[in-house]
Structure 1
Amino acid sequence: MTLLAGISRSLRKYLLNTESIMLICFCVVVYYYIFHGTAFWTFLERLRIKLELKVTGRYDRIPVTGDKEITSERSKASWELRKDNVGVYAIQGRRPYMEDRFNVVTDLERTKASIYGIFDGHGGEFAADFTEKTLFKTVMVRLLKSALVEEKLNMSQMLSEEILTVDDQLLSIERATGELSGTTALVALLHDDMLTVANVGDSRGVMCAKDGNTVPLSFDHKPQNSKERKRIKKAGGFISFSGVWRVAGILATSRALGDFSLKERNLVIAEPDILTFDLKEADPSFLILATDGLWDTFSNDEAVAFIKDRLDEPHYGAKSLVLQAYYRGSLDNITVMVVNLRNRTAVKVQRKGSLA
């Protein structure tokens, strides 16, 4: 009895005091996270990247190029922008999260270029957020550098290179953090009278030509498309139908940035399709760039006809089109960008006169 009492006193004195209990708990926590804490470190790394993006607007030495960039405010369920000849309206809609992103740069100094971009994220907002920030900055840097050295850029090649580079960066981050998100990318670059449109995924662009006809600026990358289906099958994958056709039963678009789990065997790729348009010949009155939340309820022709009558509205009809898509029952985030080109020639003449 005396021995047990002595042991009990020793335990209370040396092990059950506050300092000892804290030390034991600390050792247990350290042991657990060293040997079993992958999820914990993944969470911390992902949080670090997200904080760096949110606070500094860059990650992995993304260059900063000044204040020409206009980006939507992230904290709202609906975003809007009117900048020069561009109107944008975006709503979260019936989705629990807002995963769409957009960006606009008009008349980038010395380059005679404007950039318009729409990004539709899936599986989370990280991929769309990262791609929007990174891609715009790297494209701007390429344009500015070429202007400084008076180098003529191949815009199609440049956009393709930058999109694939951003995808590589995004995949590296996703592998390191366990992030599973992906995003479409629809980027239109207007340089002088040439419009170059790069598309990855199922966001879509259309143009209203001078004769009033609708001209597609891009074509959706869907798993059921013959070309995409053959590519997926050749890579050893499959598509299946679950409400919509999906790659490996998972993803409803066959091309995207991110989605590293589907990139291992190239079931999903980030290679863009690129189309070029001579605006002197087409003489369009406006462009529409939008995520599939619009195109689920509007055809190309319907969207063009709708905007034709609303170009005098504050957002050049973008807000009305978004709300109409919502009223028609769209279940997705909806983002619409309208680029008003009616006065394009007059603006160019005025700009040339001011430089003389």
Structure 2
Amino acid sequence: MTHARITQFAADFTEKTLFKCLMVRLLKIALGEETEDISGMITEEMLEVDKELLQLAKANLEISGTTALVALIKNGILTVANVGDSRGVICDKEGKMLPLSFDHKPQQLKERKRIRQAGGFISFNGVWRVAGVLATSRALGDYPLKDKNLVIAEPDILTFDLSDLQPQFMILATDGLWDCFSSEEAVEYIKERLNEPHFGAKSLVLQAYYRGSVDNITVMVVNFKLKQVSSFGMNDW
């Protein structure tokens, strides 16, 4: 799950490159060529992709950036890595919402402290922004803010045992959805529409648009009962 700002450059590059890199690393783990450390592997690849993206961005005068949300299931363990303000939630066996990630916002105490220690500042312009510009404190790309580490690409990673959760479904979405829906609202909305085409993802995107979301809206729903995935975004209209 990626989310573009200004242009598609950063999102397209990250989506294609990160997926390939993760698949190569997983193959090496399966072949016994390296030890299994899923969290460490995802962190390494995200930082490497960010490094490559920054080099290309500087060469092409691209200032776009992207969030990244990765969900990986291996041996019954769900690993979720988040950079930015895309968000993942899950509906457990009892129908309750469980957060899979936490948004990286500049006003959060940990993020605000890190930004100030790097010599930066945050200011309010509609929402809290890093250096008065960026509404998320972590991202891939955004090279003008990377030089002094005001914005970083290091993910926060959480793991979940699916045998304990026995989830019904999972939602991964960009912040265009979460600008209009709370996590609990989104789960309740999909619960009533899981039998629809796209498992309700299309309906959720359209509803966020009707509610006035002006940001990128992309929603992916993982139906654990059917073991199928469906996604829908504004570009699919």
Tell me if TM exceeds 0.5.
yes
What does residue 174 of structure 1 align with? Answer: 57
Instruction: Please state whether the residue corresponding to 1:317 is helix, strand or coil.
Output: helix
Instruction: Please state whether the residue corresponding to 2:193 is helix, strand or coil.
Output: coil
Q: State the Cα distance separating 1:191 from its structure 2 match.
A: 1.0
Question: 1:100-249 counterparts in 2 under 5 A?
Answer: 118-149=1-32, 152-249=35-132
Instruction: Show CA shifts across 1:304-338 (max 9, x none).
Output: 00001111111001011111111111111210000
Larger radius of gyration: 1
Residue from 295, 313, 323 that aligns with 2:196: 313
Residue identity matched to 2:148: R
Relative to structure 1, the CA distance from residue 147 to residue 248 in structure 2 (aligned partners, 3 Å threshold; closer, same or farther) is: same
Instruction: Show CA shifts across 1:252-281 (max 9, x none).
Output: 000000111101110000000000000000
Q: Which 4+ runs in 1 deviate beyond 4 A?
A: none
Residue identity matched to 2:196: E
Q: Distance in 2 between matches of 1:236 and 1:151?
A: 38
Q: State the Cα distance separating 1:152 from its structure 2 match.
A: 4.5
What does residue 14 of structure 1 align with? Answer: none
Residue from 126, 129, 144 that aligns with 1:261: 144
Q: State the Cα distance separating 1:232 from its structure 2 match.
A: 0.4
Q: Distance in 2 between matches of 1:282 and 1:334?
A: 27
Q: State the Cα distance separating 1:173 from its structure 2 match.
A: 1.1
Q: State the Cα distance separating 1:296 from its structure 2 match.
A: 0.5
Instruction: Please state whether the residue corresponding to 2:170 is helix, strand or coil.
Output: strand
Q: State the Cα distance separating 1:192 from its structure 2 match.
A: 2.3
Residue from 281, 285, 297 that aligns with 2:180: 297
Residue identity matched to 1:172: Q
Structure-2-length-normalised TM-score: 0.93
Q: Number of paired residues?
A: 228
Q: Does 1:287 align with 2:178?
A: no
Structure-1-length-normalised TM-score: 0.63
Residue from 131, 134, 145 that aligns with 1:251: 134
Structure 2 stretches of 5 or more lacking a match?
229-237
Q: State the Cα distance separating 1:151 from its structure 2 match.
A: 5.0
Give the % identical residues: 69
Q: State the Cα distance separating 1:122 from its structure 2 match.
A: 1.1
Q: State the Cα distance separating 1:295 from its structure 2 match.
A: 0.3
Structure 1 stretches of 5 or more lacking a match?
1-117, 348-356
RMSD (Å), alpha carbons: 1.3
Q: Does 1:322 align with 2:205?
A: yes
Q: Distance in 2 between matches of 1:289 and 1:214?
A: 13
Instruction: Please state whether the residue corresponding to 2:198 is helix, strand or coil.
Output: coil
